Every structure is written in C-alpha cells, then in structure tokens.
Amino acid sequence: MPLVCVCSPKGGVGKTTMTANLAYALARSGSKVLALDFDVQNALRLHFGVPLADCRGYVAKAAESSDWSQFVLTAGGNLFVLPYGDASEDQRMAFEERLKNDEHFLTRGLSTLLNYPGLIIVADFPPGPSPALKAMSRLADLHLITLLADTASLSLLPQIDNQRLTGGVLNHKAGHYFVLNQSDNRRQISRDVTTFVENKLGDKLLGVVHRDESVGEANASQQSIFDFSPASAAAFDIELIAKKVAGILGVKVGDGTVHTLPRKSGF
C-alpha cells in the first residue's frame, strides 16, 4: 500500500535513478516493491534490466484496460516494474486527457496494485508540474523531492513552497522530504549548496547522495548500484535513505521491527 512519489521541479536531477535504486534498497531489506514510471522518457525500466527495444508498458493501452497490473514486469525476487512503455503521440495525449479530466482514472487502473497488502510503490514522475503528479499526490504517503547539489536546482526551491508543483499542498500524509544528489565535497559550489541545504532544510533533508561514477556505470550496465558496486559511496547513501523512508512509512520489514526515524547522529 505505501506509495512514494519521487518528483522534482527540476529536470536531470536523477529522479529516475533515485526511484530505481530506492526500489532496490527497499526490496533488499525484505519488502515487496513496485517501481512505477509516469515519465514519457520511459527510462525507469532500463534500471531493471529491461532491454532497450522492449516497449511494453501500460500507457498505450491505459484508456482501454481497467486493470494495469497486467502490464507489470518482474525484476527478480520481490521487485516489480511497471514501465510507461512506448506510446504513440495520440496514445500519450489520450492518457493525459483522461488523467486531467477523470478523477478516478488512475485509482481505477492501479487499484489492484494500490490495494495489494505490503506492496511499496515507488513512482517516478517527469520534472515540474504534471497531470500524473497532480493526480497521484492525493494518494501519496510520501513525496521525495530530488535536487542536484547545484544552484540551478536550488533556485527552484521556492517553487515547492509556493505550491507550484501541483497547485496545492504537495503531500497530505507523511509530507514531503528532500534528497540531494551528486554532492561532492571537493567542489566549492557543491559543498556550499550542500551546507546551505542542510542548514535550511534540517530534518526535511532525508539524505545526501555523494557523487559517484558508479551510479552512471550501474545505469549503463542496467544493474542496481548495490549489485554493481556494493562498496559505492552512493550505494551507502541510498541505503540510508531507504531505511529512513521505511521508517517514515512505518514499514515492518522481515523480522517485524519498525525502524524509527534515525537520529541525525548517524548511528
């Protein structure tokens, strides 16, 4: 049931990578996870080993089918992915029309998945405001706003406060948190932005992911960062974020313990 929306006012910040690796991390710790792609780029599936030529997805037939769970692909173990899929311009526009006009379009199509007990859904959205984001926001337990550690991302922070992403309050349940990507202490701007964000956002900053080539290489290999390079600095950071997410969602993992939100002391 828990639904996490990974979004951002800015493009190119690593939302899709974050979504995929977050899904992997949550799955590794024992939960059933579905990675759901709302972005026409259709890039989420690539992180799960779906071949480039594979154009399966739910959007093309969304208007006709009442249950989109049939389009879900397995990614091994308790991990699943529902790709956007290849869609013609007409199919895409029809999908967006229905999204905008039919209030229950999404909830109907995803109802089996949304109601499956214990299934964590991590959804990836296109940058900025979008009909999908608006529609899903009512249902989301948690929003994870991804930003890069640079001023271009930072300059869009006010857009979130000003409710420019959905036109209203972003998250109605556990609230929205931030994740800062590609932080590099060796670079002045990155360091200054990271410090700034840490001071300004405080506990709202769920985690900082260090800049690490491994992430790009993992993507290129179509593997999870954890499998590709377990020693990766970014892997550690994402794992930590996943634990915090699980804590916020109150997810009981494996042995039934509930992980409370870890203290900033970092133990």
Partner 1 sequence: MNHYDDLQRFKDKTRNQALDFKDFSGQNQVSDQGSWAILNQLQPQAENDTFAHGGHVSLAAPQPVSAETFTQAEATPLPDVTAVDIIPSNVSSIFQGVAEQLANHAESLPMPTPAPVRVATPAPVHAPTEVNFSRLFAPAASAPKPAAEKNQPLNSLLERIATCR
Partner 2 sequence: MKKFLYILLTSAMLPVALLIVITPMDSQKQYIFGFISIGLLFLMGFSKRRSISVIMVVMSLLMSTRYMYFRLTQTLHFNSEIETILGMGLFLAEVYVWVLLLLNYLQTIWPLKREIVPLPDDMSLWPTVDVYIPTYNESLDVVRDTVLAAQCIDYPRDKMKIYLLDDGKRREFAVFAADVGVGYITRNDNSHAKAGNLNHAMKLTQGELITVFDCDHVATRIFLQATVGGFLKDPKLALVQTPHYFYSPDPFERNLSVGRNIPNEGTLFYGPIQQGNDNWNATFFCGSCAVIRRSALEEIGGFAVETVTEDAHTALKMQRLGWKSAFLDIPLAAGLATERLVLHVIQRTRWARGMTQIFRLDNPLFGRGLTIQQRLCYLSAMLYYQFALPRIAFLTAPLAYLLFNLNIIHSSAGLVFAYALPHLFLAIYLNSRMNGRYRYSFWGEIYDLVLAFHLVLPTVVTMVFPKRGKFNVTDKGALLNVGYFDFRVVRPHLVIAILLGIGVIAGIVRACAHDYYGVDPSVIALNVGWGLYSLIFLLAAIAVARETRQTRKTIRIEVKIPVLIHYASGISSRSQTADLSMGGCRVELPDDRHLTDDIEEVELLLQSGAISIPVNVVATDEHFIRLMFEDIPLARRRELVRVVLARADAWIQPPKPQDNPFRSLFTIVRCVFDLFWLTWKTRRENRRAQAQVQEDGNA
Give min distance, CB of 83 to partner 1, in A: 33
C-alpha to C-alpha distance for 139 and 134, rounded to whole angstroms: 10
Of these partners, partner 2, partner 1, none, which one is at the site of residue 186 (CB under 5 to 8 Å by kind)? partner 2
With CB under 5 to 8 Å by kind, the binding choice for 233 among partner 1, partner 2, none is: partner 2
Q: Residue 194: in which H helix or E strand, if any?
A: helix 188-201
C-alpha–C-alpha distance, residues 151 and 143, integer Å: 22
Q: How far is the CB of 240 from partner 2 (least distance, A)?
A: 11
Instruction: Please choose, from the candidates 19, 16, 75, 22, the residue with its C-alpha nearest in 3D space to the C-alpha of residue 43.
Output: 16
Is residue 250 within 8 Å of residue 261, measured between CB atoms? no
Considering CB distances under 5 to 8 angstroms, the limit depending on partner class, which of partner 1, partner 2, none binds residue 235? Answer: partner 2
Contact partner at residue 155 from partner 2, partner 1, none, CB < 5 to 8 Å by partner kind: partner 1
Provide the minimum distance between the beta carbon of 261 and partner 1 in the complex, in angstroms, as a whole number.
13
Residue 177 beta carbon to partner 1: minimum distance, rounded to whole angstroms: 16
What residues make contact with partner 2 under the rule CB under 8 A? 185-186, 210-214, 217, 229-236, 264-266
Applying CB under 8 A, the residues found at the interface with partner 1 are 151, 154-155, 157-158, 188-189, 191-193, 195-196, 200, 240, 262, 265-267
CB-side neighbour CA atoms (13 Å) of 128: 2
Which residues lie closer than 8 Å to 36 by C-beta, 6 or more apart? 44, 81, 82, 110, 113, 121, 122, 123, 124
Specify the residue, 101 or 199, whose C-beta has the smaller distance to partner 2.
199
